[in-house]
Structure 1
């Protein structure tokens, strides 16, 4: 599982791989009148885990951050063999509600102690310990799973991945992958998972073959389209062919924020129209806690790529309002200003500057230590975004700038942060008349 986590927020796809069955794929539809949470609980108790996966999907459709539903869907996916369907709910829990997984791992430890031979407990212990980010316990749980069920296809996939991602030995891992495909020959998720790992290992022809076969077996699984597209974009470099299957993935699973992030990253005139991309930016807010770094980063980046820098700037301001503890106030400044500020992960520098109507300034920011550029956003006295740095995300001299002319007299706000809010270090800020 460690290898696949490296691919989470990368990009996508080859249209030519998908046959006629792709066109027949249908997204799961949910009836608002049905109590899907109750239905999912009944199905889970009855051991119908595959149906429970779908029921909890619909329960999450109306409550995407309900931790009970997220955990139930993840565990239903593990026990049903629909392994890639647990990626999204586990990712949300690990990112925003890690205490839920920590508590669940404690329960699983107790269950294993009471009944060491219970295979379901071992399976859930393996996946949960991975997402709790406890490599030592994960290794121990995986070893116990292989000892208890050496012919379990998923256990063999994970053992192969473990050898490849942690030890860097793909050839030593290959027999486990091949064994997994033999044992799980009818399981689309085994083919998809192995295809994902083969792409990471540079076996691109086999990766695409396995992923295509996964789609043949299960054309409604959005993750397969995502991974094929990641393979094409990251390893083959065919960006042009990446958008249609990426759109298909979101169509099949509009509740998976990773799929939406992939599309937002690609959102520009050459690859994805504004009409397709803009609604996705708002969808992120519904799927993730308001004001979180991921929401703000990708909404900001998406609006910038769509040419709406006013909305992009406003997004950074909104992040700063919600995460006020992460804002360092640089105070009032003038149009002849130079300063230097120390930044940590997720922090934003904020300055205020009085300007007269018609006055023009240029704000420059430089990051002399990191390999990514700062971001600049300028907010009007009325609180509206008016300008965004013109090379957001570009790696040119680790510097960026924003120029604008005041449309009204008043006090403007200047926000500066590291690209993606992800770096520690120094940011140099200068403001001058333009």
Structure 2
């Protein structure tokens, strides 16, 4: 297991992270502790939690209620939806996705982790790694979450025993190597009391690594500088004064004034004449900044088009093989299912041509399947009504990902991670380049 080391240098930019683990491992309490000890709570929020804790007869302040906002969650003592919270410190801003622990809410874990830079997988020190711990680690790997923290919680209930922590961390490290997780950092904590969450724990002097917050504040996030440019066009601005620009969020790479770019689907080469950001004109902008690009030539650009690097364009594909997490309880996904695929800023009709397999996310076995039911993850073939310009999900989570939508209800029914694509001209499957 590779372990990251916190640095003393301040970090900048937003960090999105998701929490996951088995039921009652303490995810919501951990987030509440982060908010409380980092002084990110308003006085009325803290008063409300204090009063509710007294009414329930809790011995300690029930910080879990800061994220378990739904009545059903509070009554059952579990989290059944993805709760998002924002907070910031002097060093960084954060968006937290608190995801549920039950296996039947796999779709919620996928939703919460799909945009995360980091995932925190909790383990109860008394029980070690569980099937859900393995499941969430696998999902973090599938979703290409760059950083993973193993937070071994409830260390107070095992007497802050170092050997317990070392054993769980070693078990997780073995698993992480098998599933191809990236950098993993293991931290022993007791969220209820705040040990190693924001402040170092005097009860665990044997642990010399960063606290959880220190690690979150200093972990490096990718800027996309080394990736080829990808700018999906979300909106074309045509003002009365003659101003024309292509607005969107940079999905990868860096846009520079004067840079030659390729417009797809036309295949026309042009140059970036100017760049405008939310803070005004800039000469250079990197992912994931939202920008407006003014082009040197008058090109017919529309929503759903793509501006990209000239020497490294994505594949134009009307056939894709993808890993799909099915999120609909109303009907299964099977061959012949008719859907819409929303890919970046473009939406096209799609037909499922085959269900290749169902993935057992605990054992990583691919099982034969004819359909995918609610929370199933598996391999699916899709035929598209018109091409999309895509990369493999392993290379770019934005241009390699998408969602499937039910045509009749307009409900999102699946998350899509593109594995392979077929070029329209060749019609032969190949890995998207």
TM-score greater than 0.5 by the shorter chain: no
Larger helix proportion, structure 1 or 2?
1
TM-score, with normalisation over the residues of structure 2?
A: 0.23
Per the normalisation by structure 1, the TM-score is 0.23
Greater fraction strand: 2
